[in-house]
C-alpha cells in the first residue's frame, strides 16, 4: 500500500503507552516495549487516533505521542477513522467485545494484548471470525518475537538438541495473564499442541473464575512432556531437553546456555548459544510481523489460535484441580469455561 499504515490504539495505559517508563533499568526488557513506543520507531506506521475511558490517560497519550484524534468511546474512533491496524490493550474482560467491534468496523489487522479472551467460547468466536474474514490478529505473547527465543526455536527445529523430550517453564502470576507467556513458550519449544494436563492449583481459588496461579504437568501430542510452574516461583526461566542436548534460559531471557550430550559417556558439553548480534525489540518485531502478514496473507507468529491454546491450557489446569487432580484432555468439551484475567 502507498503511504503509512494508520494505527488506532484502544487503551492508553501501561501496555498501550507508559510501561517503558517502569522498565528502563530492567535488562530483561528490550525497548521499545509498549505498543505506542514501538509504533513511534517504525517509519511505516502513523498513530492517527487513540481511545480510553480515562480522560487523564487519554490526554497524556495524546501529548506524549503527538496524537490529536482522541476518543472517550473507542467505537467513535472505529467509525470515524480509516484504520489499517488496531491495537487493543484493554483489560481481558473487555477484550473480546472490542476485537469484534474492530472487525465489524473493517479492521484489517489487530494487535491484541493477552489473554485473548476470558472464556473458551469467546476465544472460539474470535478464531472463527478472523479466519473466515481474513483478519490478521496477533496476540502479544511477546516471546514469540523476542530474538533470543526465536533463535532457540530455530535451533530446536534444525535439530540442535535432537528430538525434544521435555520442556519446562517457570513464570509467577496468574495462569491466564502472565501464564499466557509461559504456556505459549512451552508450546513453541515443544513444537506441539498439548494433549492433556494435570494441574495443581489452590483449591479454594479453583472454585471461582478469577485468574489464579498454579503448577501443571503437560503431555504434548508429539510425545514430549512438560512442567509449568507459576505457584512456587519468583523467576522466569525455560528449558528444552532433547535426545542430543538442551537449551536453557534464566533471568527472564537475559542468560542463555546450550549444551550437547556429546561427551563419550553422554554427559553435557557446554557450547556457545549463538545470540543474534543485532536485535529489535519483541514489540517492534511483532509489528513488522503483522505488516508482513498483511502483505503476504500469512499468519502471525502468535495467532488467535495460539492465544486460545494458552487460555485453554490454563483453564484445563484449573479443571484438573476441580476434578481431584485427574487428567484433563484437550480440547475441552465445555466451551463456557472461563478465567477472568485482569
| Prior bond of 269 cis (ω within 30°) | no
Mean pLDDT of 75-93: 97
Residues 237 and 321 in one domain: yes
Which pLDDT belongs to residue 2? 53
Contact (CB, 8 A) for 308 and 193: no
* Whether residue 167 is found in the same domain as residue 253: yes
- Is pLDDT at 300 greater than 70 in this prediction? yes
- Indicate whether 179 pLDDT > 60: yes
Which of 238, 47, 272 is closest to 146 using CA atoms?
A: 238
pLDDT of 124-147, one tens digit each?
999 999 999 999 999 999 999 999
- For residues 294 and 180, membership in a common domain is answered with no
Residues 258 and 195 in one domain: yes
252: left (phi over 0), alpha (psi -120 to 50) or beta: left
Residue 342 located in a structural domain: no
According to DSSP, residue 236 is labeled -
How many angstroms separate the CA atoms of 88 and 98, rounded?
Answer: 7
Residues 55 and 41 in one domain: yes
pLDDT at 284: 98
Beta carbons of 88 and 74 less than 8 angstroms apart: no
Residue 148 has pLDDT above 90, yes or no: yes
Q: For residues 167 and 332, is the Cβ–Cβ distance under 8 A?
A: no
Report residue 9 as a C-alpha cell. 490504539
Would you say residue 134 lies in a domain? yes
pLDDT per residue over 2-28, tens digit each? 579 999 999 999 999 999 999 999 999
Cα–chain-centroid distance for residue 134? 20
Q: For residue 290, what is its C-alpha cell? A: 503483522
Q: How many helices (H) and strands (E) does the chain have?
A: 10, 15
Asked, for residue 66, whether it belongs to a domain, the answer is yes
Residue 335 lies in a domain: no
Band (pLDDT 50/70/90 cuts) for residue 234 is very high
- Give the pLDDT of residue 69: 98
Q: CA-to-CA distance for 107 and 89, rounded, in angstroms? A: 16
Which CATH number belongs to the domain containing residue 83 in this structure? Answer: 3.40.50.720
- Comparing CA positions, the residue from 156, 158, 180 lying closest to residue 169 is 180
User: Do 261 and 173 fall into the same domain?
Assistant: yes
Q: Collect all residues with Cβ–Cβ distance below 8 Å to 212 and sequence separation of at least 6.
A: 174, 175, 201, 202, 205, 206, 318, 339
Whether residue 314 sits in one domain with residue 221: yes
Looking at the structure, tell me whether residues 153 and 202 fall in a common domain. yes
Predicted confidence (pLDDT) per residue in 152-173, tens digit: 999 999 999 999 999 999 999 9
Q: Give the mean pLDDT of 198-222.
A: 97
Clarify whether residues 260 and 213 are in a common domain.
yes
Compute how many other C-beta atoms are within 10 angstroms of the C-beta atom of residue 128: 11
Residue ranges of alpha helices (H) inside the chain are 35-39, 55-65, 74-80, 92-104, 120-133, 147-157, 179-190, 203-206, 282-296, 304-322
Neighbouring-strand partners of residue 270: 259
Q: Are 178 and 316 in the same domain?
A: yes
- Tell me which residue range forms the domain holding 49: 5-143+283-302
* pLDDT value for 3: 77
pLDDT of amino acid 129: 98
Q: Are 138 and 107 contained in the same domain?
A: yes
Do 28 and 138 fall into the same domain? Answer: yes
Phi, psi of 182 (to 5 degrees): -65, -45
- What is the Cα–Cα distance from 313 to 25, expressed in whole angstroms? 33
Structural domain count, the chain: 2
Segment 246-262, tens digit of pLDDT: 999 999 999 999 999 99
pLDDT of residue 74: 98
C-alpha to C-alpha distance for 110 and 329, rounded to whole angstroms: 31
Residue 41 in any domain: the answer is: yes
Tell whether 339 is covered by a domain.
no
Q: Are 332 and 319 in contact (CB under 8 A)?
A: yes
In a domain, 93, yes or no: yes
Considering the chain, what is the average pLDDT of its residues? 97
**Omega cis (within 30) before 215:** no
Q: pLDDT tens across 310-326, in order?
A: 999 999 999 999 999 99
The answer to whether position 315 is within a domain reads: yes
| Residue 248, C-beta contacts closer than 8 angstroms, at least 6 positions apart | 237, 238, 239, 240, 256, 257, 259
Q: Look up the CATH number of the domain holding residue 204.
A: 3.30.360.10
Whole-structure pTM over 0.85, yes or no? Answer: yes
Amino acid at each position: 500500500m502507498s503511504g503509512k499504515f494508520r494505527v488506532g490504539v484502544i487503551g492508553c495505559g501501561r501496555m498501550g503507552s507508559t510501561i517503558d517508563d517502569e522498565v528502563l533499568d530492567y535488562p530483561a526488557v528490550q525497548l521499545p516495549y509498549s505498543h505506542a513506543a514501538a509504533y513511534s520507531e517504525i517509519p511505516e506506521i502513523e498513530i492517527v487516533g487513540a481511545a480510553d475511558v480515562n480522560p487523564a490517560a487519554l490526554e497524556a497519550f495524546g501529548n506524549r505521542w503527538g496524537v490529536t484524534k482522541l476518543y472517550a468511546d473507542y467505537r467513535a474512533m472505529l467509525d470515524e477513522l480509516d484504520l489499517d491496524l488496531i491495537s487493543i490493550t484493554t483489560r481481558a474482560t473487555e477484550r473480546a467485545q472490542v476485537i469484534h467491534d474492530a472487525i465489524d468496523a473493517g479492521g484489517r489487522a489487530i494487535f491484541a494484548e493477552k489473554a485473548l479472551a476470558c472464556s473458551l467460547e469467546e476465544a472460539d468466536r474470535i478464531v472463527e471470525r478472523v479466519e473466515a474474514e481474513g483478519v490478521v490478529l496477533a496476540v502479544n505473547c511477546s516471546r514469540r518475537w523476542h530474538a533470543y527465543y526465536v533463535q532457540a526455536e530455530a535451533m530446536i527445529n534444525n535439530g540442535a538438541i535432537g528430538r525434544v523430550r521435555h520442556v519446562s517453564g517457570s513464570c509467577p502470576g496468574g495462569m491466564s495473564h502472565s501464564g499466557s507467556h509461559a504456556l505459549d513458550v512451552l508450546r513453541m519449544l515443544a513444537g506441539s499442541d498439548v494433549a492433556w494436563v494435570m494441574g495443581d492449583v489452590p483449591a479454594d481459588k479453583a472454585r471461582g473464575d478469577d485468574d489464579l496461579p498454579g503448577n501443571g504437568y503437560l503431555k504434548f501430542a508429539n510425545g514430549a512432556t512438560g512442567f509449568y510452574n507459576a505457584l512456587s516461583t519468583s523467576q522466569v526461566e525455560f528449558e528444552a531437553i532433547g535426545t542430543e542436548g538442551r537449551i536453557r534460559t534464566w533471568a527472564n531471557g537475559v542468560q542463555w546456555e546450550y549444551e550437547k550430550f556429546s561427551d563419550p559417556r553422554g554427559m553435557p558439553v557446554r557450547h556457545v548459544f549463538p545470540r543474534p548480534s543485532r536485535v529489535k525489540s519483541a514489540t517492534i518485531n511483532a509489528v513488522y510481523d503483522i505488516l508482513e502478514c498483511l502483505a503476504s496473507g500469512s499468519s502471525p507468529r502468535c495467532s488467535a489460535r495460539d492465544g486460545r491454546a494458552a487460555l485453554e491450557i490454563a483453564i484445563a489446569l484449573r479443571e484438573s484441580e476441580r476434578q481431584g487432580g485427574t487428567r484433563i484432555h484437550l480440547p475441552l468439551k465445555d466451551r463456557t469455561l472461563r478465567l477472568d484475567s485482569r
